[in-house]
Amino acid sequence: MKAGGVMDYWEGQAPAAGTAQEVLPGIFWIRMPLPIRGLETINLWLLRDGDGWTLIDTGLGTGEIHRLWQQIFATVLAGAPIKRVICTHFHPDHTGQAGWIVERFGAAFHMSAGEWSFGRMLWLDSQPEVPAYVLGFLRRQGWDEAALAHQESRGYNMLARSIRQYPHSFTRLADGQRMNIGGRYWRVMVGRGHSPEHCCLYDEVDNILISGDQILPAISPHIGVYPSEPDADPLGDYLSSLKDFARLPDDCLVLPAHGHVFRGLGRRIRALQAHHRERVDAICAFFARPAPAVACFPALFARPITDENRMLATAEALAHINRALREGRLQRRPEGDVTMYEAA
Ligand SMILES: [Zn+2]
C-alpha cells in the first residue's frame, strides 16, 4: 500500500486499455477510456464465476470501447462466456455497452429496480429538443438568454447517444441480498444520492467493497438536482447513505469505478462528509444577500463555469441549496421568472 493522502493506494499497476489486471484471485480490473475531464477512465470488474465470468459495469457506448471489448473477449476470457452482467447504476459510462454484451453472450442482466427503470425511462425519453419545462427550470436558476440558447443548440438528455442498447429486461438486485459469484458471497449495499438506487457489492470474508461511483478515492461523485425532480435532496440522501458504508471495516479494500484501488474507507468517508458540510456552509454564507442559484458558482467552484459545464454546476449547486433549505438555513421566493435564495 502506497500512502495517498488520507488513503493507502494499492501498490499494483492499473491495467492498460484492452487488458486485465488481477487484483485478488479471480477479480480482474479492466479500465476503459472516458472523455470526461477529471475522470478520464472508468474501472470495470471481471469476476471469475465457475465456468464463466460475471462482469460489473461496461463502459460508455463508443466504438472505441466496443473494439476494446472484442479484444478482451478474445484474450482475457480464455474462451469462457460472460454469464452475468451487473450494473452498479444507470449512468452511461456504466451501462453504455450492457445491452450489447448481454445479447452477445445471452447473459443475465442484474440491476436495482430504481436504476433500471430510471435509466430505461431516460434512454427512451432522449430527444434532440430541449423541453420547455427544462428551459423554465434553468431560467428559474438564473440562466441568461445566451446560456439558454446555447443549451438549446446542444440538446438535452444525450443518453441515447452514449448507450448502445439499454437492456430491455433485468433481474432485480435489492439491498441486503447475497450473491454467490464464483464461490465468493457478495452482499448488495444500496447507496443513494449519486443515482437513485446505486448497488455496491461487499465481500465480508475477504473484506472487499466494489463501490461503483458511491465512494471514490480522489473526487466526490457528482450529486445533482435535475428538472424532473426540482425539490429532490440528493445530498441528504448521499450523506445518510454514507453512514451505512461507514459501518464497514476501515481497512476494507475498495474497488472504485474511477481512480485507483485503495484502503482507508472510513477516512475517505469522513473527508467526503466534511467536504459537503463545508460547501453547504459556503452556500449559506454566500446567500447572506438574496441571489439566484447561478450567482453562487464562484463561492462553490474553483473552476470557471462555461457553456460546457453550466448544467452540471447548476445541478450541484442546487443539491447543496436544497440541503440548506431542508435544514432551514436558506429560504427561497420567486421574483419574476427567477427563484431567489437567501439565508434564513
Ligand atoms: Zn455515475
Measured in angstroms, how far is the CA atom of residue 337 from the centroid of ligand 1? Answer: 31
Helix (H, G, I), strand (E, B) or coil at 53: strand
Considering the chain, what percentage of its residues have pLDDT values greater than 70?
A: 98
**Residue 229 domain-assigned?**
yes
pLDDT digits (tens, 9 = 90+) for 56-66: 999 999 999 99
pLDDT at position 3, please?
41
Query: What order do you get walking across the sheet with 208-212 strand by strand?
Result: 2-4, 7-9, 262-263, 253-256, 208-212, 198-203, 184-191, 178-181
**Residue 34 domain-assigned?**
yes
Query: By the 8 A CB rule, do 248 and 265 touch?
Result: yes
pLDDT digits (tens, 9 = 90+) for 144-193: 999 999 999 988 877 888 998 999 999 999 999 999 999 999 999 999 99
d(CA 246, CA 160): 36
Mean pLDDT over residues 256-261, rounded?
A: 96
Measured in angstroms, how far is the CA atom of residue 131 from the centroid of ligand 1? Answer: 24
The residue ranking higher by pLDDT, 175 or 17, is 175
**CA 284 remoteness from chain centre:** 26
Task: Count CB atoms within 10 A of the CB of residue 180.
Answer: 10
Measured in angstroms, how far is the CA atom of residue 194 from the centroid of ligand 1? Answer: 7
**Residue 260 domain-assigned?**
yes
**Residue 299 domain-assigned?**
no
Q: DSSP label at 220?
A: P
Measured in angstroms, how far is the CA atom of residue 108 from the centroid of ligand 1? Answer: 22
Measured in angstroms, how far is the CA atom of residue 256 from the centroid of ligand 1? Answer: 11
Torsion of CA 87, 90, 96, 100, to 10 degrees: 60
Measured in angstroms, how far is the CA atom of residue 93 from the centroid of ligand 1? Answer: 7
The model's confidence at residue 17, banded by pLDDT at 50, 70 and 90, is confident
**Residue 325 domain-assigned?**
no
**Residue 239 domain-assigned?**
yes
The model's confidence at residue 2, banded by pLDDT at 50, 70 and 90, is very low
pLDDT at position 5, please?
54
pLDDT digits (tens, 9 = 90+) for 112-150: 999 999 999 999 988 889 999 999 999 999 999 999 999
Measured in angstroms, how far is the CA atom of residue 42 from the centroid of ligand 1? Answer: 10
pLDDT digits (tens, 9 = 90+) for 83-113: 999 999 999 999 999 999 999 999 999 999 9
Measured in angstroms, how far is the CA atom of residue 48 from the centroid of ligand 1? Answer: 24
Beta bridge partners of 291: 341
d(CA 223, CA 237): 10
- Cell representation of residue 4: 495517498
Indicate the average pLDDT of the chain: 94
User: For residue 264, what is the domain's CATH number?
Assistant: 3.60.15.10
Q: DSSP label at 290?
A: -
**Residue 336 domain-assigned?**
no
d(CA 139, CA 27): 47
Q: Which domain holds residue 83?
A: 2-127+155-286
Number of structural domains (the chain) is 1
The residue with cell 464461490 is 183
Measured in angstroms, how far is the CA atom of residue 89 from the centroid of ligand 1? Answer: 7
By mean pLDDT, which of 34-48, 203-217, 283-297, 304-318 is the weakest? 34-48
pLDDT at position 142, please?
98
**Residue 67 domain-assigned?**
yes
